[in-house]
C-alpha cells in the first residue's frame, strides 16, 4: 500500500488523498483555511474570557471540564489560583476512565479550592458506544472517522456540560484540548450539537439527551455558553513535559500521561485497525513527522503524545495491528502478546511501569468488549 512520503499516512486513510507526487492532502495543508479560522476564533474567545469580570448571573464564572489528566489538572490550578476565576469543576464520570485519572481527581479536590461536581449516565453512554462500535463503517470515510468512537464519547459529555452550564447560567466552558486537537474539536457549542445530530440522527440524539438539546439550537446567542480552549489559544506556550514536572512538584499528579488513559484505548485501536488499517494515534504520529519535515529542530509544543524521531512507525503500526487483532479474535499466546506490547510502548519511550499498565489493558480488551456488548 502507498503511503505519504512525508508523514506516512496510508493511501485510503479516511478523508485523506495521496497525490501523484506521493504527498498527502494534509501535508499540502488543504485544510489550512479552516484551521486558521478556528485558531482565530478560539484565541478571541479565550482573550474575552480572561478579561471578563465576575458572572453577574450566578456564582461561577466558568464550568471547567476536568478529566484528571495532566492538561486539565494544570489549567484548573491556573484558572483558580492565578486567574482568580470562580470555577465549577465539572467531571463527567465516564465509565471507561482509568483508576489513575480518578487518583489525580482526588488530589485536585484536596488541593484546589474549586467547586467540584460529578455527573454520570453510564447506561446512555454505553448504549451510544455500542451503537458506534457495532455499526458498519461508512467507506471511504471522512477525516477523523478512525477516531469516531472517541470523538462521539467526548461529544456526549461535552454536550452534557453545555446543558449544565446553560441551565445554571454559566457563560463559559473551559475544555483543555491540546493544540493539535483543534483538528478534532468544534469551537461553537451549537456546532457540537449539530455534529452529534449528523452522526446519530434526531431519534437517537433526542433519546440520549432526553429532548433537551433542541432548545439550545434555538436559544438566544447571549444565553449559549462559549467554549474556551486555553491550550489552543496559548498553543506555542504548550509544554507537556514542563506541565507534568510542575504538577508533580505540587503534588497534583501521580501518574504518567501514558497511564492516564481511557480503558477503551485498546478497543479504539481495534476499531481503527479493523475499519481503516491504522493505529488510533496515526494522525498524531503523522503530525509530528510533518512538523519535523518542515523543521528538523522542531520542539514538541502543540501535542501531548510524543513519538521518538527514530521510531520506525510503519513497522510499529504493523506489530500493534497483529497483536490487537489476535487478542480480538482470541488467538495467540497472552504472554507473547504482553511481551510484544511492552516492547512497542517502550520503543515509543513509555516508562516501564506505564508500558506494563497499558499492555495489561490490551490483554483485557475482550472482557471490556463483552461488558459493553461490543462484537469483535
Better-scored residue on pLDDT, 161 or 353? 161
DSSP letter string over 89-109? EEEE--TTB-HHHHHHHHHHH
Give mean pLDDT, residues 366-371: 95
Give mean pLDDT, residues 313-324: 95
Is residue 303 within 8 A of residue 287, CB to CB? The reply is: yes
Q: Give exposure, 61-85, as e/b (b: 16+ Cβ within 10 Å).
A: bbbbbbbbbbbbbbbbbebbeeeeb
Is residue 112 within 8 A of residue 80, CB to CB? The reply is: yes
* β-bridge partners, 262: 97
Does position 302 have pLDDT exceeding 90, yes or no? no
Q: Which residue has the cell 478512525?
A: 146
Cα separation, 84 vs 300, whole angstroms:
29
Q: What is the pLDDT of residue 305?
A: 59
Is residue 231 within 8 A of residue 175, CB to CB? The reply is: no
Percent of the chain whose pLDDT exceeds 90: 61
Q: Is 174 left (phi over 0), alpha (psi -120 to 50) or beta?
A: beta
Measured CA distances, 358 to 1, 104, 154, 261 (Å): 29, 17, 21, 8
Q: What is the pLDDT of residue 33?
A: 54
Q: What is the pLDDT of residue 130?
A: 96
Q: Which band of pLDDT confidence, cut at 50, 70 and 90, is reported for residue 297?
A: low
Q: What is the pLDDT of residue 296?
A: 60
Measured CA distances, 171 to 42, 221, 224, 233, 342 (Å): 15, 11, 7, 18, 45
pLDDT digits (tens, 9 = 90+) for 37-89: 667 788 889 999 999 999 999 999 999 999 888 889 999 999 999 999 999 99
Cell reading at 310 = 527514530
* CA–centroid distance for 94 within its chain: 13
DSSP 24: B
Give mean pLDDT, residues 261-279: 92
φ and ψ at 92, to 5 degrees?
A: -85, 120
Does position 185 have pLDDT exceeding 80, yes or no? no
Cα separation, 154 vs 294, whole angstroms:
31
Cell reading at 30 = 488543504
Q: What is the pLDDT of residue 285?
A: 85
Cell reading at 202 = 434526531
Does position 112 have pLDDT exceeding 60, yes or no? yes
Q: What is the pLDDT of residue 1?
A: 78
Does 2.60.40.420 match the CATH number of domain 32-249?
Answer: no
Q: Which band of pLDDT confidence, cut at 50, 70 and 90, is reported for residue 102?
A: confident
- Residue count of the chain: 376
Q: Which residues contact 142 (CB under 8 A, 6 or more apart)?
A: 14, 15
Q: What is the pLDDT of residue 259?
A: 55
Measured CA distances, 126 to 95, 96, 141, 196, 234 (Å): 8, 9, 24, 16, 34
Q: What is the pLDDT of residue 301?
A: 46
Q: How many CB atoms lie within 10 A of CB 39?
A: 17
Residue range(s) occupied by CATH 3.40.50.620 in the chain = 32-249
Is residue 243 within 8 A of residue 87, CB to CB? The reply is: no
Closest by CA to 135, choosing from 204, 182, 46, is 204
Q: What is the pLDDT of residue 262?
A: 80
pLDDT digits (tens, 9 = 90+) for 119-172: 999 999 999 999 999 999 988 898 889 999 998 999 999 999 999 999 999 999
Q: What is the pLDDT of residue 257?
A: 61
pTM for the whole structure: 0.86
Does position 317 have pLDDT exceeding 70, yes or no? yes
Q: What is the pLDDT of residue 256?
A: 64
pLDDT digits (tens, 9 = 90+) for 320-347: 999 999 999 999 999 999 999 999 999 9
pLDDT digits (tens, 9 = 90+) for 219-249: 999 999 999 998 877 766 778 888 889 999 9
DSSP letter string over 220-282? -GGGSPEEE-HHHHTGGG--HHHHHHHHHHTT---S-TTTS-BTTHHHHHHHHHHHHSS-TTH
Measured CA distances, 224 to 73, 333, 363 (Å): 25, 53, 43
**How high is the mean pLDDT of the chain?**
88
Amino acid at each position: 500500500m502507498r503511503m505519504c512520503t512525508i508523514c506516512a499516512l496510508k493511501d485510503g486513510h479516511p478523508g485523506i488523498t495521496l497525490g501523484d507526487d506521493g504527498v498527502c492532502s494534509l501535508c499540502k495543508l488543504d485544510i489550512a483555511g479552516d484551521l486558521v479560522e478556528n485558531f482565530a476564533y478560539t484565541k478571541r474567545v479565550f482573550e474575552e474570557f480572561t478579561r471578563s469580570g465576575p458572572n453577574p448571573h450566578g456564582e461561577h464564572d466558568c464550568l471547567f471540564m476536568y478529566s484528571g489528566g495532566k492538561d486539565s489538572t494544570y489549567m484548573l490550578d491556573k484558572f483558580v489560583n492565578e486567574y482568580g476565576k470562580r470555577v465549577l469543576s465539572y467531571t463527567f464520570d465516564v465509565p471507561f476512565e482509568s483508576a489513575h485519572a480518578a487518583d489525580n481527581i482526588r488530589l485536585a479536590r484536596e488541593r484546589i479550592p474549586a467547586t467540584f461536581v460529578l455527573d454520570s449516565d453510564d447506561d446512555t453512554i454505553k448504549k451510544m458506544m455500542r451503537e458506534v462500535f457495532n455499526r458498519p463503517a461508512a467507506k471511504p470515510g471522512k477525516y477523523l472517522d478512525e477516531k469516531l468512537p472517541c470523538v462521539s464519547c467526548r461529544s456526549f459529555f461535552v454536550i452534557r456540560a453545555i446543558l449544565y452550564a446553560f441551565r445554571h447560567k454559566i457563560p463559559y466552558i473551559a475544555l483543555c484540548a491540546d493544540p493539535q486537537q483543534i483538528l478534532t474539536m468544534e469551537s461553537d457549542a451549537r456546532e457540537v450539537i449539530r455534529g452529534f445530530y449528523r452522526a446519530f440522527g434526531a431519534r437517537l440524539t433526542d433519546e440520549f439527551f432526553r429532548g433537551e438539546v433542541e432548545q439550545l439550537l434555538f436559544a438566544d446567542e447571549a444565553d449559549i455558553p462559549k467554549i474556551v480552549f486555553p491550550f489552543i489559544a496559548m498553543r506555542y506556550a504548550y509544554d507537556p513535559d514542563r506541565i507534568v514536572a510542575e504538577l508533580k512538584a505540587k503534588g497534583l499528579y501521580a501518574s504518567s500521561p501514558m497511564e492516564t488513559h481511557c480503558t477503551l484505548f485498546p478497543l479504539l485501536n481495534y476499531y481503527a485497525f479493523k475499519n481503516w488499517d491504522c493505529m488510533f494515534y496515526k494522525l498524531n504520529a503523522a503530525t509530528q513527522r510533518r512538523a519535523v519535515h518542515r523543521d528538523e529542530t522542531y520542539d514538541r509544543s502543540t501535542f501531548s503524545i510524543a513519538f521518538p524521531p527514530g521510531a520506525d512507525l510503519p513497522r510499529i503500526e504493523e506489530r500493534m495491528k497483529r497483536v490487537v487483532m489476535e487478542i480480538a479474535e482470541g488467538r495467540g499466546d497472552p504472554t507473547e502478546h504482553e511481551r510484544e506490547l511492552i516492547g512497542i510502548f517502550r520503543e515509543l519511550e513509555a516508562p516501564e511501569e506505564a508500558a506494563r499498565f497499558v499492555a495489561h489493558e490490551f490483554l483485557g480488551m475482550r472482557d471490556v468488549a463483552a461488558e459493553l456488548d461490543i462484537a469483535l
